[in-house]
Structure 1
Amino acid sequence: MTIFINPGSGPVREATEEHAAINITVFGDDLRRAGLDVRSADRIPANDYGDGRYAFELAMADGRTIEIQMPGLPVERVRYVGEDDQNIWDFPRLYVDGSSWVWKFALSVCAPEDGDA
């Protein structure tokens, strides 16, 4: 019997740091389009999970920092945004400050909580 708790949270095979770097740039652009001011995305290799995800720290204009563990696959294989031709089961999860989310929901998690902005 197989039980799925968080599909896409396991190791990411065939991942590369180069893909993760491209992905974090696109993720930052998506955050900016959502109205969040990302000042920088710095690579933090010492924080890598070692499973095909690469650690970055986003510095936000409101003073927060957010750690993102970005899968190192081509962006079209990571950027789940809920389009009709996308199956959520086919996408690896990002980790945002230690919790796993698919791309679409990871964007929302990066927004400040009420009263924090």
Structure 2
Amino acid sequence: MSVIINPGSGLVPEATEAHAAVNITVFGDDLKRTGIVVTDCARTPGADYGDGRFAFNLTTEDGRTIEIQMPGLPVERVRFLNEDGQNIWHFPRLYVDGSSWVWQFALLACEPEEEDGQ
């Protein structure tokens, strides 16, 4: 018996670091469109999960560091934005600081946390 808790959070077969590097650049561009400016992106291979995701640390303009575990598939197979023809069940999840999200929601997960009283 199989139980699927987070579809897309499993292994990413046929993943490559080269695809992950392209994807993290596109992810940074998408973050910029949401108002989050990435000032540095560092590949951190020692933090790879080893399941077809590759670790990067993004430093933002406001001084935060966000760890992204990026799937190493072609960007069109990772960048879920809920567009026509996209089926969320067919996209692997990214990990943002240890929590898994499909691309669209991973962008939101990178937003700074609100402080109490705001």
Deviation (angstroms), 1:2: 2.8
Quote the Cα distance in structure 1 between the aligned partners of 2:12 and 2:40. 25
Q: Deviations over 1:63-112 (max 9, x none)?
A: 11000000000000000000121000000000000000000000000011
Q: What is the aligned partner in structure 2 of residue 70 from structure 1?
A: 70
Deviation (angstroms), 1:3: 1.8
Q: What is the aligned partner in structure 1 of residue 112 from structure 2?
A: 112
Deviation (angstroms), 1:115: 3.4
Quote the Cα distance in structure 2 between the aligned partners of 1:37 and 1:63. 10
Quote the Cα distance in structure 2 between the aligned partners of 1:103 and 1:41. 17
Q: What is the aligned partner in structure 2 of residue 54 from structure 1?
A: 54
* Partner secondary structure for residue 69 of structure 1: strand
Deviation (angstroms), 1:34: 0.8
Quote the Cα distance in structure 1 between the aligned partners of 2:41 and 2:80. 20
Quote the Cα distance in structure 1 between the aligned partners of 2:114 and 2:90. 32
Quote the Cα distance in structure 2 between the aligned partners of 1:78 and 1:4. 19
- Does residue 19 in structure 1 map to residue 19 in structure 2? yes
Q: What is the aligned partner in structure 2 of residue 35 from structure 1?
A: 35
Quote the Cα distance in structure 2 between the aligned partners of 1:101 and 1:3. 18
| Correspondence 1:68-107 to 2 at 5 A | 68-107=68-107
Q: In structure 2, what residue type is equivalent to 1:25? A: T
* Partner secondary structure for residue 29 of structure 2: helix
What is the CA RMSD across the aligned residues, in angstroms? 1.1
User: Following TM superposition, where does structure 1 have runs of at least 4 consecutive aligned residues deviating by more than 4 angstroms?
Assistant: none
Quote the Cα distance in structure 2 between the aligned partners of 1:25 and 1:37. 12
For normalisation by structure 1, the TM-score amounts to: 0.96
